[in-house]
Amino acid sequence: MYELILLFFQIAIFKKGPQDVPASPMVLRLLLPAYVAINFLILFINGALSTALLQILVDFALIVLFCWPLLYASGKRARFPQTLAAMVGTDIVISFCALPAIATLNSNANDLAYFSMLALVLWHWLVSGHIIKNALDRSLFFGLGLALLYIMLSSQVMAALFPEIVSNPQ
């Protein structure tokens, strides 16, 4: 498991790409409990326990529904398990790093916490763009554009399905 954590951290710091993730369904099976746990913890800190599991399920479905059509349309379906695992694994890494900032925003919001969250959102965007770039064999600019599209679409879908996210004062 340590090797997987290290691999996803290396992807998150742009040293490796989704092509370095083993193309095994077992990787995703190992990642899903950690993905659920870290996202549940974030939703617990934010006080959104009533719909937490549904939000996590929708978030995971959005990742799948974004990656699969992209890879299918580009003729790179075989890269789907690696790309999905890279997206989920790096999300776990970045979300874990976000826990202190999220906790600070919910207890004693300050400029450093807001700046940290902005930096983490930018990092997530860059990492997603890096993964998409490598998965599709396209330019970084293309990957960043698709990553931005994904982030915007997923935030709109989550806000529409869970309006308490938007109306929850921080």
> What Å distances lie between residue 7 and 1, 16, 35, 43, 124, CA to CA?
10, 7, 16, 26, 16
- Contact assessment for residue 134 and residue 146, using Cβ atoms and an 8 Å cutoff: no
d(C-alpha 167, C-alpha 170), whole Å: 9
> What's the pLDDT band for 169 if we cut at 50, 70, 90?
very low
Predicted confidence at residue 48, as pLDDT, reads: 77
Mean of per-residue pLDDT scores for the chain: 93
Give tens-digit pLDDT for 80-126.
999 999 999 999 999 999 999 999 988 888 899 899 999 999 999 99
pTM: 0.91
Tell me the per-residue pLDDT of 55-76, one tens digit each, with 9 for 90 and over. Answer: 999 999 999 999 999 999 999 9
